[in-house]
Amino acid sequence: MILVTGGAGFIGANFVLDWLRQSDEAVLNVDKLTYAGNLGTLRSLADDSKHVFTRVDICDGEALRALFAKHQPRAVVHFAAESHVDRSIHGPAEFVQTNVVGTFTLLEAARNYWAGLDQAGKDAFRFLHVSTDEVFGSLSAEDPQFSETTPYAPNSPYSATKAGSDHLVRAYHHTYGLPTLTTNCSNNYGPYQFPEKLIPLMIANALAGKPLPVYGDGQNVRDWLYVGDHCSAIREVLARGKPGETYNIGGWNEKKNLDVVHTLCDLLDAARPKADGSYRDQITYVKDRPGHDRRYAIDASKLERELGWKPAETFETGLAKTVRWYLDHAQWVEEVQSGEYRNWVELNYAGRA
């Protein structure tokens, strides 16, 4: 069995679903079920005995120690995190608690469990920590892509807390010998993403006839990674990564935010045309996010060179799959758009016109 934290969130749920489609090994899914955790995403696993779900906060050390003792996982894949920059600006305390204190608490529980294993169990155990390219800060148009040796320079409460969790994971390997692995990924997109992030927000607003809010001049650049590719990369790192190492996971798809929105509008124009005009007519420029990093770009060549992984999807194929999924799963979108989510959108975009 493997233990997955945050397995009801966007990337974690995709990972759990992919894992159980491809493996007979069971998953212990640990999730607090905050606003972004959605058991509806895992509805297809309701009768799968290989999926064991438990609602636990990773800051609860006693509960984590009990789970390790009962289920004796051979590995931990740690997705659980507060992950939205805008939310971290409005309320940084939750990010410090979950991303830093939660990761520390999980590391302590894993270390205590690992220390009690026999030598073969210790050698086989892995703790894989899923992080972000945002810990490296911002790039100019001329700067080289982020590599595994790029100095950390986080610029938001979100990225600062993820940087702190990365440093804790590194320290637990070098101080205690815990066999850790860290991955730093670029912007994910795909099925089951909560509609506060750029791509699902634009799809939902476009179909609802609402404005498509683009921050600033829309020229901020991100590297886009299809979530299924991210999951396959994590499986490779878990299986063959070297303990103590970090691996960048990227899609080799640098795109300006405005270009992403234009492409989404064009795909929607083709798949579900409006009565008149284009979805591009709904684009609205709004006040920029404070401290908005200009460019992220991932150099994922180490992962390809050492483990043979590279993404299967181009941005065009991945985005087309994503749009089609959201069009086909309107009920899922409606279910996750709770009153809390609507209140959040009003808070974040109020006054940005």
* Residues that are catalytic: 133-134, 158
Q: Using the 8-state DSSP alphabet, how is residue 64 labeled?
A: H
Burial readout 228-266 (b: 16 or more C-beta within 10 A, e: otherwise)? bbbbbbbbbbbeebeeeebbbbbbbbbbebbebbbbbbe
Q: Determine contact, residues 156/291, Cβ cutoff 8 Å.
A: yes
Q: Which two tokens stand for residue 134?
A: 């945002």
The alpha carbon of residue 336 and the mean position of all alpha carbons in its chain are separated, in whole angstroms, by 17
Residue ranges of alpha helices (H) inside the chain are 10-22, 61-71, 85-90, 92-95, 103-115, 119-124, 157-176, 198-208, 227-240, 257-271, 301-307, 315-328, 330-336, 339-349
Instruction: Give the separation between CA 323 and CA 87, rounded to whole angstroms.
Output: 25
Instruction: Give the separation between CA 165 and CA 102, rounded to whole angstroms.
Output: 9
Instruction: Give the separation between CA 272 and CA 66, rounded to whole angstroms.
Output: 50
Q: Which two tokens stand for residue 102?
A: 């939660």
